[in-house]
A and B are shown apart, each in its own frame.
Chain A
């Protein structure tokens, strides 16, 4: 159930009890307006009923969706299923924070049709968890994963983070080993990156936060890939590993194939055909718009053929699906391809070009390198 052509639905939950210092996803810490927000999301959904009649994935992300109480989450999911149609095989993922996980909550989610859990563990090392400003401890994280694993969710995934300042290869591999011990269906391993306007970016600008050097980050990346593929996982996107073809994230895969998706909630992005649009990055603005009956759109773009092609290249080099050789036409670029093959960054098979694991390290520049 991995790659399908039906659209995906994303709901951005813009609430967090506390903000993590590395994260630049939009969220607010005042949770008083969750109820209002659910209503607004459903109003927004209604606006798209005709354009998006059928989905086969629903991803409740954030922010922290687990800050919603039972009534709110139930209202949201039932509301959405009243407005839209969902395919029988729909993948329904919900992001959870370890400190919100209880047996009872999990059972409730399952009863609502949630069939996939993504748990924001980040690390099983106490110091690292603290450094990342998480509300849970490593021990709580372990308990939470156990509950999820025992709670009947065959498909659960963990989010982990590496490349932290002063993180040793040893503690990172310990976290990975611990993660594997719970038998997850999916792992997302993110290298810590300094994003836009976050506390970490301010620290970094002030010289008070130093990430490991390029070479070390590169080595950690390769180590991670080695370790997890050695354990039978498929490294299907730069940061994503699945235990089997069946367990890779159907929803996320849509982002990388230009499959249509509808994003609801503030700051959510949508894509259909050659158009991408995104909602205002403000809860107040979002609510106000939907109150007045106007679209909460903050911006949009119509992609030219060249831009579509550039994105296909970007996605192709970042995933194991690669791209068609015919995408690269010019003589000079062909020569570059050969050079990249020789240096082991890409492979050519069946008229397609694939990044190797080593190539993933340069995935964001390969499109430029092969552009004339």
Chain B
């Protein structure tokens, strides 16, 4: 066990986490340089484009120090977004230490601090690493001062590195070995292994990533997932190199995988404890939470005959994403589809993009909603996450919506704009604290519905990227809710209905009407777009009738071009839905969801 180190890299976005991970992999000769592909860990397209890690991957780095002693360094990758904070906490719970990466030109940022707290919460050894020292604007001395003043860490322990140029990598590996303690634990005790991730493999079923705290697990053992009580026979255990490498056993302190005929990722729970059924641990490891979806939205195929294909795609997608939940849904405007629950808005976007890119689905998503609660006159309590099931307003005694405790960490200079933003989003009970000089932690009670759209993006933009944000759902509070309907030429487009606080209804209605006006192409007749609560119209826009086409010439040389244009339009038409007699393109449904003004 003395030769094992379990660690993560935590960093503000863009401070070079993936590049450093790649360098470590390269340095330890896990791949030869010829095979080396940039940013091996972030291998999903979306992750590459957004520069964030969604699904974490773990890699076991073989390392030999100068005395010839061999080590196994388990680098546990962590996702970098608030939607996945629970996954991050389980990954950190599997480590003994972290590399806290700070950009030599940007210095300590809000997320750096948030990451530090998360690491300290798990009693991890923190090694500060100053990255990007190759940049001409790098200011190592200033960053060291910040590490001292703002993080309270010893700046002399900070390692200087340029992941891009491969400088300082040896120092980092040495520090990991010297400073991060080896895991403790007793291989003879009953097994406790923490699930921090799970992937689906079409040949082997679910590959569970885990950290063994006590005990030993071997192929042939019958394991029990403690929160569910389900049991499986272990087929294979092993460690993560770039590919999976089977081992005879996983024992206390090790990080690795278990394959046990678990059919889908949904049969496992991140944070659950694995034990051996024959000799179970008296109690599971702490910190387990059954993560529930907080944002709901429906997915419809653009062409209604693609329903089955969408169902297949969702089933396949779900194999690898336990946090997505879905059930059948149907809409008068859009036909058959699915109501889906997500961990947050980023999660929703990821599902949408992956369905479109990897599963080749053309889909329409409805406006995201939280789960509201209605108390009816007859004493019934109704939880509603879909505007279609909004009860008859005449029967509602009271309504409630979920509230969160939002924690925002910012440099002091942004307090004003952040307070304003939170108050605009119906934030109440503000609290402020000063964890370090110059840094402010602002806490607000806020309706969840106010943060699920674009709150995080707004926050980042008004704080120039320095704001970090975390939340937990606290309780349900009374709220004045109404259902906002959108009508196109007098016909209600149910897929565009939203539940919204009465005070926000008009503004939302105006925005949706304007958006649709821009997105729905002119047709031969005038189109009225209206926002209504009950029978009352509260917003309106009009699309004037289309008067003529280009009546250009059409001779021998024009025909092919004209036909190609028609073919393109015909394709576009397949992506339209007809409501009443109005053709509404997919883009209009998407635009209606956007809340910001760009």
The residues of A with any CB-CB pair to B shorter than 8 Å are 10, 25, 190-191, 193, 195, 213-215, 217-218, 221, 237-239, 252, 255-256, 261, 263, 267-271, 276, 278, 301, 307, 310-311, 314-315, 318, 339, 343, 345, 360-365, 367-368, 371
Provide the residues of chain A in CB contact with B563, threshold 8 Å: 307, 310-311, 314
B557: nearest residue on chain A (CB-CB)? A269
Provide the residues of chain A in CB contact with B560, threshold 8 Å: 269, 276, 278, 301
Interface residues of B in 571-592 (CB under 8 A from A): 573, 581
In angstroms, how far is the closest chain B Cβ from the Cβ of A304?
10
Q: With A256-B554, A268-B556 given, can you name 16 additional A-B contacts, CB distance below 8 Å?
A: A10-B556, A214-B547, A215-B548, A255-B555, A255-B556, A255-B559, A263-B556, A267-B557, A271-B559, A314-B554, A318-B554, A361-B547, A362-B546, A362-B548, A367-B566, A371-B570
A269: nearest residue on chain B (CB-CB)? B556
* Interchain CB contact under 8 A, A363 and B556: no
Contact of B559 among A215, A311, A368 (CB under 8 A): A311
B567 within 8 A of A: yes
Contact of B556 among A238, A271, A368 (CB under 8 A): A271
B572: nearest residue on chain A (CB-CB)? A368
6 smallest A-B Cβ distances: which pairs?
A218-B548, A214-B547, A269-B556, A361-B548, A218-B547, A364-B549
* Interchain CB contact under 8 A, B559 and A217: no
A217 to B549, CA, bound (A): 9
27 pairs, A vs B, C-beta closer than 8 Å: A191-B551, A193-B553, A214-B547, A217-B548, A218-B548, A221-B548, A238-B554, A255-B554, A255-B555, A256-B554, A269-B559, A269-B560, A278-B557, A301-B560, A310-B563, A310-B567, A310-B570, A314-B563, A343-B525, A360-B551, A361-B547, A361-B551, A362-B524, A364-B551, A364-B562, A367-B566, A368-B573
* Interchain CB contact under 8 A, A368 and B555: no
B550 within 8 A of A: yes
A237 to B554, CA, bound (A): 10
The residues of B with any CB-CB pair to A shorter than 8 Å are 524-525, 546-557, 559-560, 562-563, 565-567, 569-570, 573, 581
A25 to B569, CA, bound (A): 25
In angstroms, how far is the closest chain A Cβ from the Cβ of B576?
10
A362 to B549, CA, bound (A): 5
* Interchain CB contact under 8 A, B553 and A190: yes
The secondary structure that dominates the B interface is loop
A3 to B550, CA, bound (A): 26
A193 to B561, CA, bound (A): 15
A367: nearest residue on chain B (CB-CB)? B566
A193 to B550, CA, bound (A): 7
In angstroms, how far is the closest chain B Cβ from the Cβ of A114?
19
Provide the residues of chain B in CB contact with A256, threshold 8 Å: 554
In angstroms, how far is the closest chain B Cβ from the Cβ of A319?
9
Provide the residues of chain A in CB contact with B567, threshold 8 Å: 307, 310
* Interchain CB contact under 8 A, A361 and B549: yes
A365 to B566, CA, bound (A): 8
* Interchain CB contact under 8 A, A365 and B552: no
A214 to B543, CA, bound (A): 14
A267: nearest residue on chain B (CB-CB)? B557
Contact of A310 among B546, B554, B566 (CB under 8 A): B566
In angstroms, how far is the closest chain A Cβ from the Cβ of B568?
10
Provide the residues of chain B in CB contact with A271, threshold 8 Å: 556, 559
* Interchain CB contact under 8 A, A364 and B550: yes
The listed residue with most B CB atoms (<10 A of its CB), out of A269, A345, A368, is A368
A215 to B573, CA, bound (A): 24
In angstroms, how far is the closest chain A Cβ from the Cβ of B259?
49
B562: nearest residue on chain A (CB-CB)? A314
* Interchain CB contact under 8 A, A365 and B559: no
In angstroms, how far is the closest chain A Cβ from the Cβ of B387?
28
Provide the residues of chain A in CB contact with B546, threshold 8 Å: 214, 362
In angstroms, how far is the closest chain A Cβ from the Cβ of B404?
46
In angstroms, how far is the closest chain B Cβ from the Cβ of A39?
23
* Interchain CB contact under 8 A, A217 and B556: no
Provide the residues of chain B in CB contact with A268, threshold 8 Å: 556-557
* Interchain CB contact under 8 A, B551 and A363: yes
A367 to B570, CA, bound (A): 9
Beyond A314-B563, A367-B566, whether A343 also contacts B551 by CB under 8 A is: no
B561: nearest residue on chain A (CB-CB)? A196
Contact of B524 among A190, A311, A343 (CB under 8 A): A343
Beyond A310-B566, A314-B562, A345-B524, whether A221 also contacts B556 by CB under 8 A is: no
In angstroms, how far is the closest chain A Cβ from the Cβ of B441?
51
* Interchain CB contact under 8 A, B551 and A238: yes
* Interchain CB contact under 8 A, A368 and B570: yes
In angstroms, how far is the closest chain A Cβ from the Cβ of B567?
7
In angstroms, how far is the closest chain B Cβ from the Cβ of A369?
9
In angstroms, how far is the closest chain B Cβ from the Cβ of A339?
7
A239 to B573, CA, bound (A): 27
* Interchain CB contact under 8 A, A239 and B547: no
Provide the residues of chain A in CB contact with B525, threshold 8 Å: 343
In angstroms, how far is the closest chain A Cβ from the Cβ of B424?
38
A263 to B557, CA, bound (A): 10
Contact of B548 among A214, A267, A371 (CB under 8 A): A214
A256: nearest residue on chain B (CB-CB)? B554
Provide the residues of chain B in CB contact with A218, threshold 8 Å: 547-548
Provide the residues of chain A in CB contact with B569, threshold 8 Å: 365, 368
A263 to B411, CA, bound (A): 72
A221 to B581, CA, bound (A): 27
In angstroms, how far is the closest chain B Cβ from the Cβ of A91?
15
In angstroms, how far is the closest chain B Cβ from the Cβ of A159?
10
In angstroms, how far is the closest chain A Cβ from the Cβ of B137?
39
Provide the residues of chain A in CB contact with B555, threshold 8 Å: 252, 255
Contact of A261 among B549, B552, B556 (CB under 8 A): B556
Provide the residues of chain B in CB contact with A267, threshold 8 Å: 557
Provide the residues of chain B in CB contact with A221, threshold 8 Å: 548, 551
A25 to B559, CA, bound (A): 14
The listed residue with most A CB atoms (<10 A of its CB), out of B548, B549, B554, B569, is B548
A61: nearest residue on chain B (CB-CB)? B555
In angstroms, how far is the closest chain B Cβ from the Cβ of A300?
10
Provide the residues of chain A in CB contact with B548, threshold 8 Å: 214-215, 217-218, 221, 361-362
A255 to B554, CA, bound (A): 8
In angstroms, how far is the closest chain A Cβ from the Cβ of B520?
15
A252 to B567, CA, bound (A): 24
A221 to B557, CA, bound (A): 23
In angstroms, how far is the closest chain B Cβ from the Cβ of A116?
16
In angstroms, how far is the closest chain A Cβ from the Cβ of B511?
27
Provide the residues of chain B in CB contact with A278, threshold 8 Å: 557, 560
A337 to B137, CA, bound (A): 67
A368 to B548, CA, bound (A): 15
The listed residue with most B CB atoms (<10 A of its CB), out of A25, A213, A314, is A314
A263 to B524, CA, bound (A): 37
In angstroms, how far is the closest chain A Cβ from the Cβ of B29?
52
In angstroms, how far is the closest chain A Cβ from the Cβ of B286?
60
A40 to B588, CA, bound (A): 53
* Interchain CB contact under 8 A, B559 and A276: yes
Provide the residues of chain B in CB contact with A270, threshold 8 Å: 556
Provide the residues of chain B in CB contact with A214, threshold 8 Å: 546-548
Provide the residues of chain A in CB contact with B559, threshold 8 Å: 255, 269, 271, 276, 311, 314
Provide the residues of chain B in CB contact with A191, threshold 8 Å: 550-552
A360 to B570, CA, bound (A): 19
Provide the residues of chain B in CB contact with A213, threshold 8 Å: 547
A263: nearest residue on chain B (CB-CB)? B556
A276 to B555, CA, bound (A): 13
A242 to B140, CA, bound (A): 83
A343 to B525, CA, bound (A): 10
In angstroms, how far is the closest chain A Cβ from the Cβ of B402?
43
Provide the residues of chain B in CB contact with A307, threshold 8 Å: 563, 567
A195 to B550, CA, bound (A): 11
Contact of B552 among A193, A339, A367, A368 (CB under 8 A): A193
* Interchain CB contact under 8 A, A339 and B581: yes
A311 to B573, CA, bound (A): 17
A217 to B550, CA, bound (A): 9
Provide the residues of chain A in CB contact with B524, threshold 8 Å: 343, 345, 362
